[in-house]
Every structure is written in structure tokens, then in C-alpha cells.
Amino acid sequence: MQRPTEDFDAIVVGSGISGGWAAKELTERGLRVLLLERGKNVEHQKGYPNARKGQWEYPHRAGRTRAMIDAYPVLQRDYPLNEKNLDWWVNEQESPYSEIKRFDWYRGYHLGGRSLTWGRQSYRLSDLDFEANSKEGLAVDWPIRYADLAPWYDHVETHAGIAGSIERLPQLPDGQFQPAMALNCAEETIAGRLAKQFNGHRRIIPGRNANLTRPLPGRGRCQYRNACALGCPSGSYFSTQASTLPFALATGRLTLKTEAIVTDIVYDQDRRRAAGVRVLDAQSSATTEYRARVVFVCASTLNSTWLLMRSATDVWPGGLGSSSGELGHNLMDHHFRCGANGVIDEHHDRNVYGRRPTGFYIPRFRNFFGDKRDYLRGFGYQGSASRQGWQRAVAELGVGGAFKDAAATPGPWQIGATAFGEMLPNHANRISLDPAKTDKWGLPVLAIDCATGENERLMRRDMMNDMAEMLEATGVKNVRVFDNGYFPGMGIHEMGTARMGRDPKTSVLNAHNQVWDAMNVFVTDGSCMTSAACQNPSLTYMALTARAAAFAADELKRGNL
């Protein structure tokens, strides 16, 4: 192999879940890696100043003020806007985007990205998901199957630490789990009854979550504080800071630069390869070019495609990877905020001790097990049971001492769940550059044009009614359905816009996440998803990234890149 003349063997753009994995895997395979993060540094543990604060230590008790709402017109649309970790969400004045249709884009621009704030639910996809497009003749076929990814799920689960139970379900493969965080007694009761009904096809299982129930090197087991999104003092949940970055740094081969905005990928037209990247210093606006043999684009779904759209535009007006006409298209999310809840009038002499940072999961059962609906695909549920707290007193009649003392004791068990439904890939759901608006650094911002369709509308009826049916069938009282409304992006599971495929004419990436138009550029975050499935997607990004990194390292050794 020729002595490399590049500054680095590999450049990784983005330090979130996918970028952290790329940095770890590539450095551990001997590559000298430059990891670029557009936002500020957040040090593990030292960078979590609110981790141990009580509710009373926030001026508005962790709520939101009118001034916050004015400053965060997107973030205020849902729960993320609060006093607790405001600086782990993007500054919307500095980084605007355009909504051709309403799209709620919740971004974290800092080291670790949304790995610090994610919901940690971790589920494998199955061939039910990988084969769906092909069987239904929709969009394009995934270029991989479950067997291609299974060993990489094993690999990332073992290192990240996923708590889960072995269930032997065909639609939700088991993995390399740490012991599960158990269902509580109310959930266990309902789960037991549900398992005997619906031919056993509907099951309540413990949520599979990236929180340690057994320690791993450098990380302690979960202390059941359930304040994960503020940063974990014991490093017990998977984040870049806790799980991947320390291993990448330990190799001595990682260079990390924060506040480094990649403006474009430098494309060498003669070699038909990327030569490196151009970086804008977020503070000084100075630009620097870095060269490398491979580039991993892991900037998060929309940001990765945004970067491709800004790159090699002298060759392809639509940007690097646009030759198929699919770059920016097929944007997906999971639609949710729809389900049912009720009261369990049992187990009055039981409560939980400790705050479990997960709930239960009901794997998909629609359009499966011989079931056939008037829509395609399906949904899973996430929920939990808990004893009611003081909040119930707001709507109750009463004032005075007895009222106060009763409000300080638990109410009955309540149980509820929301479905997470698959959103179909649709060419019309797309992002593009807005020529009329730029961000703080002068980059043309993204315009997002995305909506759910008839399939999602039909699915939502079942998402709501099936949960009510299950609760009523298992003895839950006062069952109520809800549909709190959904706009794309709210799931914070944005996927697609640079899909994998088998044919360069209809896809942006090949089966190893290489951009067809520049084989030394890999895109391994949610952009690559060919379909959305209904499972929380981050674990799949981890597995795809680790797989692509191993492939890239091998190809470099073979002299193919």
C-alpha cells in the first residue's frame, strides 16, 4: 500500500450516535481519524451541571416561560422545551430552516448530539421490515437483509449495553442483552392476561433500553434516577461521551475538533473520490481544508443530506449523491401520540421503588401473523404503568388538610401507551436548499416539504383502538383513547433522504452505505434508511455504522478505496 499523503485516514462528520460509533470503530481498526463536531464541547460528567438538581432548583420548576417559547418557536411545539437542558437544543435564531409544510425538527448541535438526550429504546429490525418494500413493490428494496446486520447488532449491543428480555418473537429479534429492567407488578398482571388473548400474538414485554443493568468498563450500572436526558453521573446510558468516544480516544488515533462546521465535501473529479472536507470555524469563521482517504457523514439525517447537497455542485447541481434524483427524497419519521390509557384497580398494596428509565413495549402485530388490514405495515406501542401522583389532585374537588395529605400519597395504578407507527417512504416527501434564506454562517438553509398520507391516517385508527381493546380485555378500568395529533418530525426519528439501494439509478447509497457517486464517502446515520419500520431506529444506525466502518477499513487495506 502506498504511503498515504492525506492528513488523516478518515474524517467523521458529526459526533452523535452514528458519528461516535464511526470514530470508535475506525480508530480501533488502526485508522487515524478526525472527528468533526459543529457544536460546542460537552465533557462527560463535568458537562452535566444539572444532572443532580431537584425540581425546586429551577426558577420555574423545570417548566417553560413565554420568553423561552418566543426564543424557540419549533422546540416549544412539544416536550423538549424546558428549563433543564436548554443548551442541548439548537439555537433556532442561528440555525433556522424553512417549512413548506410543518415539520418539527428537534436538533442538538453539541458534542454527542442527541445521544445525550435520546429516549434509549433499542430494537432490532427484522426481515419483516427489510423485505417490506420488495414484497409490496414500494419505493426500492433494501440492499441488505437481517442476516447481513445481525452480527453487527450483536457487536453494538454488547458494547453499548442494552437491557432486554429474550422473547423469541419473529418480528422483533432478540439480541445480546443485559438483564432486562423488569415490568412492575401492575404491568406484569396486564402482560400475563394479554399473553393469553389474541392468540398470543400481542405481547407486553419489558422495554429494551440502552441503560446498563450490569457495569461495563468505565461505566456504572443504572442508579434508577430516571434523569437521563440531563446527562448521567455514572455513565449508565449509552451516549457518545460515555460509550464510544472514550474508546476512540484511548487508541491515540483520534483528533477531535468541536465548533467545526463542515461546509462541503471536497470532490476530486479525476479520481471520482472525495479528497476531504472544508471546515468553517463556528467562532472565527476561518476556513480550513482537511484531507482524508474516506469520509463518514454522520451529521444526523437531514444534516447529512444537507451537507451532500452543498458538495460537488459544480459536477452535480443537486449535490454529491444526487445523480439518481433521490437525494433529499423519501423523508420519513414515526407517527405517534396516539393510543389509550386507563386505571388498574388492583395492587393497592404495591408500589415501585426507584425510577426505571424505560417502560413496556408491545411489538408489532398488524399485517403480520396472517392479519391483513386496509393499510400497509404496522406499529408498536410504548407505555408504562405507575401509581398516580399529586397531579391528579388538580382536577379533583377538594381543599384543606385532608386533601393535601391525600395528594401526597399515591393514587391508583394508571396504565397507558402510545403507538409508534411506520411511515411509508414517499418520493414527494423531500428536503431541498432554500435559496432565499441563510443561517448565521451564510449557508443556505434546508426547506422541508413532508406530510403523512392516507396509509398513516388509516393506521392511526388501529393505533388508538387496538390499545383500548387490549386494556379493556385485560381488566383495565375507565379506558380512554387519545390522539394528540402528529406532525412529521415530532417522533424525532427522521429517516431517509439518502436511501440505500441496489441500483445507482434509484438510490443514493449502496449496500455498504457508500455514496454511489463517490465510493469513499459513507453515510451511515438515519439518512440511509430505505424504509422506516416501526422500531426506534438508533440501534440500527449503530449497527449499520459499525458494519460500514469495518468494510471501509478492509477496503482501505485492500487498496480499493
Partner 1 sequence: MTITRREIIQQVTALLGGAALIGGDRLLAFAIDDEALTQAMTEGVGRFTPADVALLDEIAETILPQTSTPGAKAAKTGAFMALMVTDVYTPESQQLFRDGMRSVDEACRQAHGVPFLQAAPAQRLSVVEVLDREQKAAMDARLARPSNRAPAPTSQNDDPAHYFRMMKELALLGYFTSEIGCTQAMRYIESPGRYDPCAPHAPGDRSWAGHA
Looking at residues 75 to 104 of the shown chain, list those that interact with partner 1 (rule: CB under 8 A): 83-87, 89, 91
Residue from 3, 5, 349, 559 in contact with partner 1 (CB under 8 A): 349
Report if residue 63 touches partner 1, rule: CB under 8 A.
yes
Of 150 and 473, the one with the shorter C-beta distance to partner 1 is: 473
Interface characters, 373-392, with partner 1 (x: CB under 8 A): --------------x-xxx-
Inter-CA distances, 345 with 153, 187, 342, 467, 479, Å: 40, 12, 10, 18, 12
Q: How many CA atoms lie within 13 A of 251 on its CB side?
A: 20
Of 292 and 464, the one with the shorter C-beta distance to partner 1 is: 464
Q: Which amino acid is at 43?
A: E
Report if residue 56 touches partner 1, rule: CB under 8 A.
yes
Report if residue 45 touches partner 1, rule: CB under 8 A.
no
Task: Tell me if 322 sits within 8 A of 499, measured CB to CB.
Answer: no
The gap between the terminal CA atoms of the chain, to the nearest Å, is: 11
Inter-CA distances, 114 with 18, 256, 315, 353, 379, Å: 10, 18, 33, 29, 24
Looking at residues 196 to 255 of the shown chain, list those that interact with partner 1 (rule: CB under 8 A): 222-227, 230
Q: Mention every residue, 6+ apart, whose C-beta is less than 8 A from residue 525.
A: 14, 16, 17, 18, 19, 297, 298, 299, 300, 301, 304, 541, 545
Of 184 and 535, the one with the shorter C-beta distance to partner 1 is: 184
Return the range that interacts with partner 1 (CB under 8 A); candidates 45-53, 147-155, 191-199, 488-496: 45-53
Report if residue 54 touches partner 1, rule: CB under 8 A.
yes
Of 347 and 502, the one with the shorter C-beta distance to partner 1 is: 347
Angle at 446 between CA 443 and CA 449, to 5 degrees: 165
Of 344 and 546, the one with the shorter C-beta distance to partner 1 is: 344
Of 47 and 504, the one with the shorter C-beta distance to partner 1 is: 47
Looking at residues 465 to 494 of the shown chain, list those that interact with partner 1 (rule: CB under 8 A): 465, 468, 478-485
Q: Mention every residue, 6+ apart, whose C-beta is less than 8 A from residue 353.
A: none
Q: Mention every residue, 6+ apart, whose C-beta is less than 8 A from residue 503.
A: 140
Residue from 1, 147, 286, 394 in contact with partner 1 (CB under 8 A): 394
Looking at residues 436 to 465 of the shown chain, list those that interact with partner 1 (rule: CB under 8 A): 464-465
Interface characters, 267-306, with partner 1 (x: CB under 8 A): ----------------------------------------
Task: Tell me if 394 sits within 8 A of 197, measured CB to CB.
Answer: no
β strands within 47-127, DSSP E: 98-99
The H or E element that residue 289 is part of is strand 287-297
Residue from 410, 412, 444, 504 in contact with partner 1 (CB under 8 A): 410
Report if residue 409 touches partner 1, rule: CB under 8 A.
yes
